[in-house]
């Protein structure tokens, strides 16, 4: 595992001490990685600023070539990096392999968009006034600070870094302090493919020591943040000083709606994958299950059986279907959410504790609650763990009203045998992504992001690229 910062194309020890890296399946420290200090933040931003003019002017086809090379390098190293991800994040290896495919696919997709960029520059803009002409340019926003969480390490960074590089931005990436060795491998890949020095800088470190000063740095033009609401709102306040561009991908408390005419075995599979994947540590976790009353008991029975059958264990064990939580703090938090839900009067149907024989590490049982009060923390707040809250509804209108009654609006899933109804409900959900009758399929061509407190802006697709661009119109009297 790497243990140094990556600044201006060089590996360096850093001035912020070191950070522990843990194996979440044992709770043991397995590595230490250098942490950045204030001087490193200054050095990384300076390197990115120096590299910016040349990178911004690099033909977009050349930027595309380098992005393709990053995609290929991730593909070549996919198995090794998936194993590292599983080891330090805790997720089952099969899920980590999917993450690597997603990350490589994201770099390849933005290579495609980058390749077309130069030809699209200076597109004429039709004006009603016959005396003038205007043309449109899309220019890189400048130095971008990218701040990511630990739940999908190489994926969240790819969703930011690939479009940032495609647009012509230079970057300072601050990965989560819990999974930094994984994102540091991007530095090695950048070196291997010949990305110019200073275009990508990587600073492991805590939020307070590195994230906050990076966001406040006057040399940073754009902040793209994925993480919790508490921190995201602080980032937005910081961005206000200097009117920095800011994109926020924050939390969720998403609903999955099951109508009685659905195939309930299929519905149970989708509920399980929508919550217990990555041990529920997904911003898109559908932690609120709304079930039509007549299907309530049969679906609940299926879910309890599936939750009890899930094999919980270390991510690298091929038999594992759900791994541990990634951090000790998250483990404490999820167990306290469970206690609070009980105190709030919810009925614990299954799970609720540490699985038998898994006292080491940060495991929690797949957990299901019913009789959940609609004003309780369990119904309204993000858990970020494998805890499902189930509630019945009487009809379509009530289902939609309950689903939308949330501070968040990231995703939603609707499962019904009546396609017209599923379409109606998907349209009515106030969310960034609505899935009909399918698992949480995320496509790089489609957008990611949410309504309300789930964030500001959209990642992926052309929207992800636009987030790193400034729009300029050149206007002049009409020529000849
Ligand atoms: P977090 O907010 O604690 O940390 C996220 C990142 O911000 C980390 O790199 C952290 O070091 C950094 N940070 C902390 N304090 C900072 C500060 N003051 N200034 C700048 N940076 C700071 O979140 P987490 O616990 O790592 O991740 C879990 C959260 O992320 C959940 O709320 C989840 O919903 C959210 N998330 C959202 C999406 C999405 O696409 N909407 C995706 C994944 C995770």
In a domain, 202, yes or no: yes
- Take atom 22 of ligand 1 and give the residue whose Cα is closest: 207
pTM of the model: 0.97
E-strand stretches of 162-241: 170-174, 200-202, 222-226
Q: 171-210, pLDDT tens digit by residue?
A: 999 999 999 999 999 999 999 999 999 999 999 999 999 9
- Take atom 23 of ligand 1 and give the residue whose Cα is closest: 227
Tell me, what CATH number does 78's domain have?
3.40.605.10
Asked whether the beta carbons of 297 and 309 are under 8 A apart, the reply is: no
Task: Looking at the structure, tell me whether residues 300 and 233 fall in a common domain.
Answer: no
pLDDT at res. 363 = 98
Whether 455 is in the pocket of ligand 1, judged by its Cβ within 6 Å, is yes
Tell me, what CATH number does 338's domain have?
3.40.309.10
Q: Which residues span the domain enclosing 131?
A: 5-250+454-477
What number is the average pLDDT over the span 149-169? 97
Pocket test for ligand 1, best of 157, 183, 227, 458 (most atoms within 8 A of CB): 227
What number is the average pLDDT over the span 148-163? 97
Q: 127-138, pLDDT tens digit by residue?
A: 999 999 999 999
Task: Looking at the structure, tell me whether residues 228 and 288 fall in a common domain.
Answer: no
In a domain, 448, yes or no: no
Tally of domains within the chain: 2
In a domain, 81, yes or no: yes
Task: Looking at the structure, tell me whether residues 42 and 127 fall in a common domain.
Answer: yes
- Take atom 14 of ligand 1 and give the residue whose Cα is closest: 207
Ligand 1: nearest atom to the Cα of 252 = 34
Task: Looking at the structure, tell me whether residues 209 and 276 fall in a common domain.
Answer: no
221 to 101, 244, 387, 407: CA distances (angstroms): 30, 5, 39, 29
* Three-class SS state of 187: helix
Q: 82-109, pLDDT tens digit by residue?
A: 999 999 999 999 999 999 999 999 999 9
Residues 6+ positions from 472 with CB-CB distance below 8 Å: 136, 137, 138, 139
In a domain, 449, yes or no: no
Task: Looking at the structure, tell me whether residues 244 and 261 fall in a common domain.
Answer: no
Task: Looking at the structure, tell me whether residues 167 and 188 fall in a common domain.
Answer: yes
Distance 367 CA to ligand 1 centre (A): 24
Residues 6+ positions from 94 with CB-CB distance below 8 Å: none
If you search the block for the tokens 């049982």, which residue do you land on? Answer: 365
Considering the chain, what is the average pLDDT of its residues? 97
pLDDT of 229 > 90? The answer is yes
In a domain, 408, yes or no: yes
Task: Looking at the structure, tell me whether residues 223 and 236 fall in a common domain.
Answer: yes
| Structure token pair of residue 24 | 């979440």
Ligand 1: nearest atom to the Cα of 227 = 30
pLDDT at res. 473 = 98
Task: Looking at the structure, tell me whether residues 203 and 264 fall in a common domain.
Answer: no
Q: 280-301, pLDDT tens digit by residue?
A: 999 999 999 999 999 999 999 9
- Take atom 18 of ligand 1 and give the residue whose Cα is closest: 212
Whether 384 is in the pocket of ligand 1, judged by its Cβ within 6 Å, is yes
Assess whether 365 carries a catalytic annotation: no
Task: Looking at the structure, tell me whether residues 205 and 271 fall in a common domain.
Answer: no
pLDDT of 226 > 80? The answer is yes
Ligand 1: nearest atom to the Cα of 384 = 31
- Of 249, 321, 382, 459, the catalytic one is 249
Whether 203 is in the pocket of ligand 1, judged by its Cβ within 6 Å, is no
What number is the average pLDDT over the span 399-422? 98
Task: Looking at the structure, tell me whether residues 305 and 377 fall in a common domain.
Answer: yes
Task: Looking at the structure, tell me whether residues 372 and 235 fall in a common domain.
Answer: no
Assess whether 283 carries a catalytic annotation: yes
pLDDT at res. 389 = 98
Whether 412 is in the pocket of ligand 1, judged by its Cβ within 6 Å, is no
In a domain, 70, yes or no: yes
In a domain, 160, yes or no: yes
pLDDT of 480 > 80? The answer is no
Pocket test for ligand 1, best of 173, 228, 285 (most atoms within 8 A of CB): 228
pLDDT of 52 > 90? The answer is yes
CA dist 187 and 162 (Å) reads: 14
Distance 228 CA to ligand 1 centre (A): 4
- Take atom 30 of ligand 1 and give the residue whose Cα is closest: 227
Task: Looking at the structure, tell me whether residues 329 and 460 fall in a common domain.
Answer: no
Distance 229 CA to ligand 1 centre (A): 8
- Take atom 11 of ligand 1 and give the residue whose Cα is closest: 207
In a domain, 332, yes or no: yes
Whether 205 is in the pocket of ligand 1, judged by its Cβ within 6 Å, is no
What number is the average pLDDT over the span 154-179? 98
């Amino acid at each position: 595992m790497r243990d140094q910062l990556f600044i201006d194309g060089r590996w360096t020890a850093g001035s912020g001490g070191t950070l522990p890296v843990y194996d979440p399946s044992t709770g043991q420290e397995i590595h230490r990685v250098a942490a950045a200090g204030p001087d490193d933040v200054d050095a990384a931003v300076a390197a990115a600023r120096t590299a910016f003019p040349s990178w911004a002017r690099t033909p977009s086809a050349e930027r595309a070539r380098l992005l393709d090379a990053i995609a290929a390098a991730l593909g070549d190293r996919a198995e090794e990096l998936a194993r590292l991800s599983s080891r330090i994040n805790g997720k089952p290896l099969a899920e980590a392999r999917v993450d690597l495919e997603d990350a490589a696919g994201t770099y390849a997709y933005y290579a495609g968009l980058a390749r077309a960029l130069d030809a699209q520059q200076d597109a004429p803009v039709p004006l009603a006034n016959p005396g003038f002409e205007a043309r449109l340019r899309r220019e890189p926003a400048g130095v971008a600070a990218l701040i990511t969480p630990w739940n999908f390490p190489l994926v969240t960074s790819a969703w930011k870094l690939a479009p940032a590089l495609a647009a012509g931005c230079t970057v300072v990436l601050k990965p989560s302090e819990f999974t930094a060795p994984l994102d540091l491998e991007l530095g090695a890949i950048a070196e291997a493919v010949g990305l110019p020095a200073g275009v990508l800088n990587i600073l492991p470190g805590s939020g307070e020591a590195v994230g906050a000063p990076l966001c406040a740095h006057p040399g940073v033009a754009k902040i793209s943040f994925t993480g919790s609401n508490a921190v995201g709102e602080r980032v937005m306040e910081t961005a206000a000083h200097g009117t920095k561009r800011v994109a926020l991908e924050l939390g969720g408390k998403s609903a999955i709606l099951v109508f009685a005419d659905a195939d309930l075995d299929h519905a149970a599979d989708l509920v399980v994958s929508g919550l217990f994947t990555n041990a529920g540590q997904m911003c898109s976790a559908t932690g609120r299950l709304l079930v039509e009353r007549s299907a309530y008991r049969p679906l609940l029975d299926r879910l309890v059986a599936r939750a009890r059958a899930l094999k919980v264990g270390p991510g690298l064990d091929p038999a594992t279907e759900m791994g541990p939580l990634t951090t000790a703090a998250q483990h404490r938090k999820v167990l306290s959410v469970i206690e609070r839900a009980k105190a709030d009067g919810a009925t614990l149907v299954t799970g609720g504790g540490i699985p038998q024989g898994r006292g080491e590490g940060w495991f929690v049982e797949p957990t299901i609650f019913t009789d959940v009060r609609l004003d309780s923390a369990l119904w309204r707040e993000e858990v970020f763990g494998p805890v499902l809250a189930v509630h019945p509804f009487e009809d379509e209108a009530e289902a939609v009203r309950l689903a939308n009654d949330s501070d968040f609006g990231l995703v939603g899933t609707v499962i019904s045998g009546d396609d017209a109804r599923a379409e109606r409900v998907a349209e009515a959900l106030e969310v960034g992504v609505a899935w009909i009758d399918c698992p949480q399929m995320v496509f790089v061509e489609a957008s990611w992001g949410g309504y309300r407190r789930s964030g500001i802006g959209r990642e992926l697709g052309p929207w992800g690229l636009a987030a790193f661009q400034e729009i300029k119109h050149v206007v002049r009297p009409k020529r000849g």
